[in-house]
Homo-oligomer: A and B are copies of this chain.
């Protein structure tokens, strides 16, 4: 007989996504989440900095994947080609089996302004990491920042298509978005 069930953090994540889906983010209190997970509210705040953060545990994984993908791009690649490699690496996290989960999570986030704010700042953090990666590859500012932001634009638009769409491959959507961006910039 153990004193506590293991994996309180995982149970809190599951409970939070469930309740945010059932009632909405604002109508859910931290005490509700904790109760469903079988812990107290105080324990919730030991695992997550705030009520929003419980939905964003995977974001550092994505960031690491993309930064690694950027680092491993061919040395001679142009900035945007290197960014394309980072986008390609992100596809690891968005296989077909993750779609249902991603869709549910995305629906919760888009339904609430505070959660969108948090998602945006994670994106900004990702952008800063990509810009730093480009600088490490010798791309000077402000081109590094600009290329990173442009890559985020492709990610953002492509991700929404992936979540909203049918069964398109994530990597294909990223490549198509990058091609679109290049097409736009080529027009007078």
Contact = CB atoms under 8 A, between A and B. Distances in A.
Interface of A: 78-81, 113, 116-118, 120-121, 123-124, 142-143, 145-147, 149-150, 152-154, 156-157, 161, 177, 180-188
Contacts of A177: 142, 146
A143 B179 CA distance: 10
A116 B27 CA distance: 25
A147 B184 contact: yes
A81 B186 CA distance: 11
Contacts of A180: 142-143, 146
A13 to B, nearest CB: 21
B142 A78 contact: no
B181 A146 contact: yes
A135 to B, nearest CB: 14
A109 to B, nearest CB: 12
Contacts of A143: 180, 183-184
Contacts of A121: 113, 116-117, 120
4 closest A-B pairs by beta carbon, nearest first, are: A149-B153, A185-B185, A78-B187, A120-B120
